[in-house]
Amino acid sequence: MSQDDKGEQDSKITRAAWPGVGEHIVPPAAQTRDLVPARRDAGLPAVIESRVPIRKWWLRTVLALAVIGGGAGATYYWWQHSQSQLPPGIASGNGRIEADEIDIDTKFAGRIAEIGADEGDLVKAGQVVARMDTQDIAASLKKSQAVVQQAQRAIDEANANVTQQNAQVLLAQQEYDRAAVLVQKGFETKEVLDERKQQLDSANAALNAAQERVIESQHARDASTHDVELYTVNIADNTLVAPKDGRIQYRIANIGEVLPAGGKVFTMLDISDVYMDIYLPTAEAGKVKFGADARIVLDAYPDYAIPAKVSFIATQAQFTPKTVETQSERDTLMFRIRVNIDPDRLRARAASVRSGLPGDSYVLTDAAAKWPARLQGNATQ
């Protein structure tokens, strides 16, 4: 029996034992012929090209657009739902309490010699929080101070010389005057008068030189004094102080670490500038005015309404397309609004101020609107 007859017999046996098996199987050669024609003219085998499934790419793109659109729609739906619970003339948005961060950095490269604060500490403006090693600057300062003292002694010596030269000038002037009188009476020769005149000129020249040495010594002292001031300022700048009242948020460096110029040691929060950013759509953001009354209600303290004021209104939309054509798209544009808590209120409650707490902000879009009872706010809060 030939190989072809044997293969056909095995195929019949298989179909008889397992009906349906092999009926829909397309031979690989047939698949190849259907997908990519063989290069018969070149006498070469057929080349199978890989094709990217375009349908999957479009599916992924549509899904991504759907997610983005769904997020924007959910945000707008949440805003509309929250506004429906407020009286007219009041808009709201959610956000987090934030405070400006201030980095406390080194002015010069050096080694940290002392740390005076840690994370979470409440510090006052001007409080020393760290000191850098200033032994080298202190040595230069002592040298400049010694030069100043030396220059001062030179000034004192020059002044003494001026006093001496003044006496010499006075003596020479008197001798010249006497010689002039004697020459007029015929009791002295003109040659003696000329000598007295020469002595007077020499004394005046010496006096001028002494006075110039005084000025020169004073300039040298002033230069050394400026060096002393410079080193004193550098030593002061190596003492790191808190620029404002606030709370230490991060301590980046430790004692003994060598930092470059501008190396960060602390990051503190400015508790005198605490705010919340919210987002309002075009219809409401356009009605908000600078300085408008506002309230902040934190999730941690839902029964307290913190009085605040509007301090910033964005001039451009923060998300959604910047350029839109339809009315529905214009309605979904969101603008950033910032409300600030009164600094005096913050200073009085510095120990309770913190950032990151979520909550809601309510803004008056109509000055004639009245706050509901739960948003009245309390001066004692």
- Taking only the tens place, the pLDDT of each residue in 327-346 is 555 556 788 999 999 888 88
Q: Are residues 275 and 150 part of one domain?
A: no
Is position 380 within any domain?
Answer: no
Q: How many domains does the chain have?
A: 5
Residue 336: strand pairing partners = 279
CATH number for the domain including 246? 2.40.50.100
Please give the backbone phi and psi of residue 272, each rounded to the nearest 5 degrees, phi first: -90, -5
Q: Is the pTM of this model over 0.75?
A: no
Judge whether 381 lies within some domain: no
pLDDT at 29 over 70: no
Same-domain pairing of 249 and 289? no
Q: What is the pLDDT of residue 257?
A: 94
Looking at the structure, do residues 214 and 75 belong to the same domain, yes or no?
no
- In this structure, the answer to whether residues 362 and 333 fall within a common structural domain is yes
**Res 335: pLDDT:** 87
For residues 7 and 42, membership in a common domain is answered with yes
Average pLDDT, the chain: 78
217 inside domain: yes
Q: Are residues 127 and 244 in the same domain?
A: yes
Strand-pair partners of 166: none
Answer whether residue 343 is part of any domain: yes
The mean pLDDT of 284-293, rounded to a whole number, is 89
Are 282 and 334 in a shared domain? yes
pLDDT at 1 over 60: no
Q: Residue 18 belongs to what domain range?
A: 1-51
- pLDDT exceeds cutoff 60 at 28: no
Q: Does residue 295 lie within any of the structural domains?
A: yes
Q: Please tell me the predicted confidence (pLDDT) of residue 378.
A: 59
Say yes or no: 245 and 120 in one domain.
yes
User: pLDDT band at residue 74, thresholds of 50, 70 and 90?
Assistant: low
- CA–CA separation, 270 vs 38, rounded Å? 75
How many C-beta atoms surround the C-beta of residue 79 within 10 A? 21
In the predicted model, is pLDDT for residue 100 greater than 70? yes
Residues 291 and 364 in one domain: yes
